[in-house]
Each structure stands twice: as C-alpha cells, then as structure tokens.
Amino acid sequence: MNKNNSKLIIGISSRALFDLDESHEIYKTKGLDSYREYQIDNEDKILNPGKAFPLVKKILNLNNYYDEDRIEVILLSRNTSDTGLRIRNSIEGHNLDIKRAAFCGGESPHRYVKDFGVHLFLSSSIEDVKLALKSDVAAATIISNHDNDHKNSQLRIAFDGDAVIFSDESEIIFQKEGLNAFIENEKNAMGALKAGPFKSFLVELNKIQNDFNLEECPIRTALVTARSAPSDKRVIKTLREWGVRIDESLFLGGMSKKEFLKSFQADIFFDDQKNNILEASEELTSGHVPYGIKN
C-alpha cells in the first residue's frame, strides 16, 4: 500500500530510546571527559531498550503495511557524533530502521525539529520538550515505570483533551473561576475549541488511519478527558469541525484515568497534568506535555 506521499515523522532523544542512565550518571558525577571515555570504551556494547523503545518499534512496524516508508523516526541527541557512535551501533544491533540523526554536542536538539519536519518529539529532557513546544511541535517527556507487553499489534494512543489536543482556554476559566463558570462557558460558547499542541500530530495520525478500513486500521486513538456532560458537546463539535477522527472518547468527569487507559491497552498516553501522568505511568508508557496554565 502507498496511498499517501506524506510522512509521519517522529523525533526521539537517545535517552528516551535507550537506557543511558549509567552513562548519564558518569556524566553528572565525573564530567564530560569521563563520559566520552566510557562511551568510546563501550561503543560495541549494545545498549538496553529505554522507556520509549517498545513504542518506537511498534511505530516503525507500521511501515510493513506500505510499499514505501510512511513513518520515519529520527534520532535527536545531545551527544557528539563521537560519543553517539555507541547509540548508532545500538540502533543497528536492535535492527531499528532509523537512518537520520542529529548529534548536537551538548546543546538541545530542539533547533532541528522544524528542519526535519518532526510531528512529534519524545525526550527524557523536560527542557528540550518545552523548547520544542515553543517551536509549535507536539512534544512530551517520556515517563514509564512499567514494561508494556504490547501483546496487541495495533498501535494505541490516548490523549487528554484540554492543553493537549485543544488549547488551555477552557482550563484557564476552570482554574481561575471554578467549575460552574467552566460549564457555563462551554454551554454558551459558539465556536470550536482552539487547537492545542497535539492537534497537528493527531491530524497526521488520521491521514494514516484514513488509508485503511476501520476494521483493519493498525492505529486506534482515544480521548480520555476529565470533562463530562454538558462540556463534552463542544469537544465533539470541535473534532467534527476539524474533520478529525477519534476512535474512542471517554468523558470521565474527574475519575482517575489509569484503569481506563489500562483497559484501552494504550501504548502511550499524553496529558498536561503531571499527577495524571505519574499515576498512568505505573501501568503504561506516558508522555507529560508541559503546556498550558497547569505548567
């Protein structure tokens, strides 16, 4: 299959892709020279998978449905090319189809997310994630305390609504004026919600989903939000106006999201609220989006 000439492009940091905790500790405690020496001495030792590794592998497997690569993953690293050779060897050792890379010599790789056309940037560095968000690229800090078993071959992605898919305009009213003011605003609002940092990524996912019949689609999405009736109506109308498909919409009215995400079998969940992410990360890989009034 090759129905769409565009590509979904994911940027991934080396510390999100591989377990670099040991070498990072050497960098923090002994400095750059010791870190460089350690990585060169061990450059033929394949790194263990990191927090985002299973997700990246599953994303790359989507290319099996196409005649030409429809999804590309790009490595964006603070390493130099010298210290990054171990990372490149590990990519080959794990048979990951990652061809492009930027080794930025200690500086943030966020500068290149736009140049590479990245739709989603995943990193273990909240500073790099914040900088990517300022560049209008969907970005999240990867947090996981659980090994996803990924028994489901379908890629399943769950999103919070406000300050993730949508802007935080309604969340600001809730935080400043309370629940009643928030509900009143949503009931009376005439227009659609404004776009949040992840709208463009969701649109790109939809393009891939539209290549398949609903029953055969290798990607399934869910909106998992604290909203409930009547504030759900504006969400539904906004997605309809955008022409964006969300497969499942869960309006939880403030209930904990963790069990619902577990039942959905999410490969990753994106939320702007750190407490939601920390709770969800006990069961699945999660991405904190440091955007909006809560951040």
In the chain, beta strands by DSSP E: 8-12, 71-77, 101-103, 120-123, 138-143, 155-159, 219-225, 248-251, 268-271, 286-288
Do 19 and 50 contact (CB within 8 A), yes or no?
Answer: yes
Pairing outcome for strands 138-143 and 286-288:
antiparallel
Q: Taking CA 289 as the corner, what is the angle to CA 197 and CA 224, rounded to the nearest 5 degrees?
A: 85
Tell me the C-alpha distance between 182 and 170, whole Å: 7
The alpha carbon of residue 16 and the mean position of all alpha carbons in its chain are separated, in whole angstroms, by 11
What is the Cα gyration radius of the chain? 20
Residue 23 near residue 50 (C-beta atoms within 8 A): no
Within a 13 Å sphere around the CA of 217, how many CA atoms are in the beta-carbon half?
18
- CA end-to-end distance (rounded Å), the chain: 42
SS3 of residue 145 by DSSP:
coil
Active site residues: 160
- As a whole number of angstroms, the distance between CA 260 and CA 234 comes to 22
